[in-house]
């Protein structure tokens, strides 16, 4: 019992990873590569439930600090792997990578952090 309460407390505090979402449409980003990338370069997004094709989904990066959103162009899309091209106009700094379900920009996958370098 103590172990269950302890793990639950770690999850609530954000110190333990949560399981992938259980919903049927629950896109989940496991990791991105590379973790440090330059503007205009390729970013690989690995995860699950991305769908067989892009459809209305929108891969994006959000700038840490100011919250500006940048859409990513995709050159390849599969259920577990997306290859995206970063915009040339990204400034250096921290960003959050995510995938919006549609152009309402209200619902998305989880986020994974990446660093843009000059």
Residue 5 lies in a domain: no
CATH code of 92's domain = 2.60.40.10
Q: What is the 3-state secondary structure (H, E, C) of the chain?
A: CHHHHHHHHHHHCCCCCCCCCCCCCCCEEEEEECCEECCCCEEEEEEECCCCCCCCCEEEEEECCCCCEEECEEEEECCCEEEEECCCCCCCEEEEEEEECCCCCCCECCCEEEEECC
Specify the number of domains making up the chain.
1
Residue 49, domain extent: 26-116
Residue 6 lies in a domain: no
Give the pLDDT confidence score for residue 17 in this predicted structure: 46
Residue whose structure tokens are 């067989």: 52
Residue 99 lies in a domain: yes
Give the pLDDT confidence score for residue 10 in this predicted structure: 39
Residue 64 lies in a domain: yes
Residue 40 lies in a domain: yes
Mean pLDDT of successive 10-residue segments in the chain (118 residues)?
Answer: 45 46 68 97 96 91 94 96 96 96 90 96
């Amino acid at each position: 019992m103590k172990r269950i309460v302890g793990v639950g407390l770690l999850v609530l505090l954000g110190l333990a990873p949560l399981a992938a979402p259980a919903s049927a449409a629950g896109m989940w980003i496991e990791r991105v590569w590379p973790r440090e990338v330059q503007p205009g370069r390729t970013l690989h997004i690995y995860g699950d439930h991305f769908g067989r094709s892009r459809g209305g989904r929108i891969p994006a990066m959000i700038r840490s600090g100011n919250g500006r959103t940048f859409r990513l162009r995709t050159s390849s899309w599969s259920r577990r792997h997306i290859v995206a091209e970063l915009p040339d106009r990204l400034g250096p700094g921290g960003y959050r990578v995510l995938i919006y379900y549609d152009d309402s920009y209200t619902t998305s996958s989880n986020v994974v952090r990446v660093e843009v370098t000059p």
